[in-house]
Amino acid sequence: MDEAKLARHVAARERTRLDRRAGLPVAGGGAALTGRDLSDIRFHRVLGMVKLAVILLQLHALHRRGATVGPRYIAFGSLAVGLLAFAQEVRAERVF
Per-residue pLDDT of the chain (96 residues; tens, 9 = 90+): 556 665 566 556 655 554 555 555 566 666 777 777 777 888 999 999 999 999 999 999 999 999 999 888 999 999 999 999 999 999 998 887
Same domain, 86 and 61: yes
Same domain, 69 and 96: yes
Same domain, 44 and 58: yes
Task: Report the domain count for the chain.
Answer: 2
Q: Residue 3 belongs to what domain range?
A: 1-38
Question: pTM of the full predicted structure?
Answer: 0.66
In the chain, alpha helices (H):
3-34, 41-65, 76-91
Same domain, 67 and 31: no
Alpha-carbon distance values, 21 to 5, 24, 44, 90, 92 (Å): 25, 7, 18, 11, 14
Same domain, 57 and 93: yes
Same domain, 14 and 53: no
Same domain, 55 and 31: no
Q: What is the Cβ-side half-sphere exposure of residue 69, based on CA atoms within 13 angstroms?
A: 0
